Amino acid sequence: MDRAGNAWMVFDIDGTREAARQRALPQSDDLPPPFRRLDDVCAPGYRGRKRGEVVRTRTTVSQAHSFQWLGSFGNRGNGRYRKELRKGLAAIRRYLSAHQLDPSRTLLRLDGQYGTGAALADLAGFAFVTRGREYSVLDHPLIQARLHLPPDQLQQRPESQMVRNLYDCPDVPVGSEGVRCRVIVVTHPADKKKSPVGVTRAGIVYELFFTNLPQQAFTACDVVELYLHRGAFEPLLSDEDAEQDPDRWCSHSACGQECWQVISQWVWNLRLELGHQLEAQPLRTTTFAPAMVGRPETGTKQAPVQGYGAPAVALPWKAGRFSGQDFALQPDGTLRCPADQKLIPHEQRREADGSLRVVYGASIRSCRPCPLREQCQWQGNTTKKPRQVSVLLHPLGVGSAPLLWKDWSRRLHRRVCKKGLDSQNVEIQVKHTDPPSPPEQKAVILSRMQRAHSRLTWAERLARNARPLTPGQVTIRLFGVPESVATSLGLVTA
């Protein structure tokens, strides 16, 4: 539930990978060429922290409130994330259609792998929150001009002492596709150790978050916290690995591996459904972000500022005179006057309505010889002060309601189902008979090649596969072959 009281259905899309280890194979002229059993399933790729030589990646889709799986789409190596993303979106659309849910109130949380303009173009029709990796967006004039203004909000995580500045930049084109979205820029001072995320410029670490959530319902801090809440998806994958191990190697074909993973997700969902039938409980509600109320230490009822709108300047005050609209905001944080001179910010004031006034001033050395001084100054040529321009940052009209998160317990219902299954008992009785005494066997001496299960040579393969002469005639019966075809092939028909 956002700050405007609207309900959103949240889905998580992310990839997981499993590495396979391959032993070294001997190679010689009398051995067949090396053949890997997992060649159709795995390929070289990014392994993360997992040991192995080849890897298989699968994209999973989860419903964040019920912890149900909606799909599993895998490929060799690093996978095909764009193709798998489109399959995941199709699964979400089928889910929304089956439950008659509004697609416009569907929120997708994605990893930074999808933080490009090309991937965002595939998300048309959905609301999304993702970490951006199109760092060229930082060079856009709109972003550069916003970074030189005061930040919208400050953020500090409970487990860290670092304070981050949040800059909210709406309607910014991303990528070569020009996808218009809301860009949240998060900055903090760089440490001695290289930051694992973001890009570092001039001692400042910049992180990007892309979204199209409305500013009236989600502040910049809400957007970042919603993305970081994706961390709950990792324990879900961990529980899946511990209970069912869906990434185990159970097939030498891609289809067989996919079938195993789909069945594993079906069993997971079935356990959840049976757990809800055994012990039905309502959704639990968590205050994800508190409501915005006035600060009692100030003695005012005005809520704290939760972001600013676009910079505003004064309207024309007299015909033939320059107004604040004639002074353009530059990417370097200055204003440019009609005479192509620079105005530098030198003062910030908080107004009674919560607005922030930033005052820019020119140099007297630039204003005295200026040929446009008559049109610029309030008192014409009689004034002895340089020109000043005020830029107002009005607070955003964000709803005052708290941000609420509703979900079920991730483990309770599965454990209830498992406890019920443990109480079931099945007995299987086998009638034992006295086996005949086995013949005396001689001890077999193995070679090192046999002990290591090395590949057989061509001669050994032919000797093992050769049909002995002692068996009788082999009869093969085929069903469904038309009689005319069998006759033409010389087959005996039944």
How confident is the model over 280-318, as pLDDT tens digits?
888 999 999 988 775 444 444 556 677 888 888 877 666
Please choose, from the candidates 3, 9, 105, 6, the residue with its C-alpha nearest in 3D space to the C-alpha of residue 403: 3
pLDDT at 297: 46
Residue range 59-65: mean pLDDT, rounded: 94
Q: Does the pLDDT at position 83 exceed 90?
A: yes
Residues near 21 by beta carbon (within 8 Å), at least 6 away in sequence = 51, 52, 53
Higher pLDDT, residue 100 or 461 = 100
Q: Does the pLDDT at position 225 exceed 90?
A: yes
**Angle, to 10 degrees, between the axis of helix 254-278 and the axis of helix 233-243?**
100
Instruction: For residue 197, give the amino acid letter.
Output: V
Ranked by mean pLDDT, the top range of 86-100, 155-169, 381-395, 413-427 is 86-100
Q: Does the pLDDT at position 28 exceed 70?
A: yes
Q: What percent of the chain has pLDDT over 90?
A: 33
pLDDT digits (tens, 9 = 90+) for 241-284: 888 888 888 888 889 999 999 999 999 998 898 888 888 888 99
CA distance from start to end of the chain: 71
pLDDT at 309: 81
Q: Which two tokens stand for residue 290?
A: 């508190």
pLDDT digits (tens, 9 = 90+) for 192-209: 888 888 999 999 999 999
Parallel, antiparallel, or unpaired for β 106-110 and 328-329?
unpaired
pLDDT at 292: 76
CA 284/CA 408 separation, integer angstroms: 6
pLDDT digits (tens, 9 = 90+) for 360-419: 888 888 888 888 887 776 555 666 778 888 888 888 888 888 999 999 988 888 888 888
CA 4/CA 398 separation, integer angstroms: 8
Please state, in angstroms and as integers, the Cα–Cα distance from residue 330 to each residue in 169, 241, 427, following that order: 15, 52, 81
32-58: b (≥16 Cβ within 10 Å) or e: eeeeeebeebbbebebeeeeeebbbbb
Please choose, from the candidates 233, 217, 207, the residue with its C-alpha nearest in 3D space to the C-alpha of residue 131: 207
299-320: b (≥16 Cβ within 10 Å) or e: eeeeeebbbbbebebeeeeeee
CA 30/CA 457 separation, integer angstroms: 6
Q: Which residues partner with 118 through β-bridges?
A: none
pLDDT digits (tens, 9 = 90+) for 162-188: 899 999 999 999 988 889 999 999 999
CA 249/CA 22 separation, integer angstroms: 13
Domains of the chain: 9-278 (3.90.350), 310-393 (no CATH), 448-489 (no CATH)
pLDDT digits (tens, 9 = 90+) for 308-338: 888 888 776 666 678 878 888 888 888 888 8
CA 350/CA 392 separation, integer angstroms: 10
CA 367/CA 376 separation, integer angstroms: 9
**Contact by Cβ (8 Å): 17, 57:** yes
CA 333/CA 345 separation, integer angstroms: 8
Q: How confident is the model at residue 210 (pLDDT cuts 50, 70, 90)?
A: very high
pLDDT digits (tens, 9 = 90+) for 115-150: 999 999 999 889 999 999 999 999 999 899 889 888
Q: How many CB atoms lie within 10 A of CB 451?
A: 8
CA 390/CA 451 separation, integer angstroms: 84
pLDDT at 493: 73
Q: Does the pLDDT at position 432 exceed 70?
A: no
pLDDT at 438: 73
Burial class of residue 464 (count of CB atoms within 10 Å of its CB; 0-12, 13-18, 19+): exposed
Please state, in angstroms and as integers, the Cα–Cα distance from residue 98 to each residue in 64, 233, 381, following that order: 17, 24, 74
Main-chain phi, psi angles of 399, to 5 degrees: -60, 150
What pTM was estimated for this model as a whole?
A: 0.79
